[in-house]
Amino acid sequence: MDATAATVMVVDDDIDIRETIQDLLEVRGFHVIGAGDGADAMAQLKRGARPRVILLDLMMPGLSGEEFRNQQLADADIAHIPVVVLSGARGVDEAARRMRVASLPKPVELHELMETVGRFCADEHAAR
C-alpha cells in the first residue's frame, strides 16, 4: 500500500458493506480502516488514526452515528475530520441536516461514492 495514499475510515455495523467499500476503495488506491461501531471508530481515532474522511452509518447498535459525531466534535484533535453519512432514508436524512454533514443515500451509487470520497481527498493523493 502506497504510504502517501489517502486514508478513509468506514464505520458500518454490516460487515458486507464495510468490506465491499473497503475493496472498492483499495482498488482505487485508497487506504481504508474499518470500524464495526461508533465506539470502535472512536477508539481508533483516539489511538491516532487520522483519516481524510469518515464514512459513517447512522443506524448502528451501541453508539449511534449522531452520538459518535457529537463525541468527535467535542475532541479538538479529531473534530476537523469531515464526515459523510450513509443514510438509509431517502436523500438527505433529517439527522444529517441536523449534523450539518454531507450524506449519501443507501444503496449508494458507486460513482457517487467515489466522487464524494475523491472530493475530500482531492488535495493529496488523487483517486484513480
Task: Provide the binding-site residues for another protein, judged by CB under 8 A.
Answer: 14, 16-17, 19-21, 23-24, 27, 59, 86, 88-92, 94, 100-102, 106-111, 113, 116
* Cα-based distances in Å from 104 to 13, 53, 125: 17, 13, 22
CB–CB of 102/85 below 8 Å? Answer: yes
d(CA 7, CA 40): 17
Comparing CB distances to another protein, the nearer of 81 and 102 is 102
Minimum CB separation of residue 87 from another protein in Å reads 9
d(CA 89, CA 95): 10
Comparing CB distances to another protein, the nearer of 13 and 49 is 13
Minimum CB separation of residue 17 from another protein in Å reads 5
Comparing CB distances to another protein, the nearer of 20 and 44 is 20
Comparing CB distances to another protein, the nearer of 47 and 90 is 90
Minimum CB separation of residue 63 from another protein in Å reads 18
Minimum CB separation of residue 114 from another protein in Å reads 9
